[in-house]
Amino acid sequence: MDDLSTIRSEALSAVSTATDLAALEAARVAVLGKKGSVTGLMKTLGGLAPDQRKEFGAKVNQLKGEIEQALDARRSTLGASELASRLNSDRVDVSLPARPEGQGTLHPIGQVMDEVAAIFGEMGFTWADGPDIEDDWHNFTALNIPPDHPARQMQDTFYLPSRADGTPMVLRTHTSPVQARTMLNPDVHKMLADGGSLRIIVPGRTYRIDNDATHTPMFHQVEGLVLDRATHMGHLKGCLVDFCRAFFEIDDLPLRFRPSYFPFTEPSAEVDIGCSWKDGELRIGAGDSWLEILGSGMVHPNVIRNCGLDPAVYQGFAFGMGIDRIAMLKYGINDLRAFFDSDLRWLRHYGFSALEWPSLTQGLGR
Shortest distance, position 249 Cβ to ligand DAH, whole Å: 24
Stretch that binds ligand DAH, among 28-36, 52-60, 312-320, 354-362 (CB under 6 A): 312-320
Indicate the helix (H) or strand (E) that contains 207. Answer: strand 198-207
Shortest distance, position 242 Cβ to ligand DAH, whole Å: 17
Q: Does 199 bind ligand DAH (CB under 6 A)?
A: no
Which of 151, 144, 226, 152 minimizes the C-alpha distance to 182? Answer: 226
Length of the chain: 366
Query: 252 with 274: CB under 8 angstroms?
Result: no
The dihedrals phi and psi of 137, each to the nearest 5 degrees, come to: -65, -50
Residue 140, amino acid:
F
Q: Does 182 bind ligand DAH (CB under 6 A)?
A: no
Q: Whose Cβ is closer to ligand DAH: residue 226's or residue 347's?
A: 226
160 C-beta neighbours (distance < 10 Å), count: 14
Using CB under 6 A as the binding rule, the residues of this chain from 220 to 239 that contact ligand DAH are: 223
DSSP H stretches of helix in 202-350: 233-248, 301-306, 323-331, 344-350
The dihedrals phi and psi of 103, each to the nearest 5 degrees, come to: -85, -30
Q: Whose Cβ is closer to ligand DAH: residue 176's or residue 231's?
A: 176
Contact letters for ligand DAH, residues 250-289 (x by CB under 6 A): ------------x--x------------------------
Stretch that binds ligand DAH, among 38-46, 55-63, 90-98, 293-301 (CB under 6 A): 293-301
Indicate the helix (H) or strand (E) that contains 264. Answer: none
What lies within 8 Å, CB to CB, of 192 at 6+ separation is 198, 227, 228, 309, 314
Q: CA end-to-end span of the chain, whole Å?
A: 92
Stretch that binds ligand DAH, among 114-122, 125-133, 313-321, 343-351 (CB under 6 A): 313-321
Q: Whose Cβ is closer to ligand DAH: residue 176's or residue 182's?
A: 176
Q: Whose Cβ is closer to ligand DAH: residue 74's or residue 220's?
A: 220
Cross-strand pairs, 322: 221
Q: Does 219 bind ligand DAH (CB under 6 A)?
A: no
Using CB under 6 A as the binding rule, the residues of this chain from 149 to 178 that contact ligand DAH are: 174, 176
Contacts to ligand DAH by CB under 6 A = 174, 176, 223, 262, 265, 295-297, 318-320
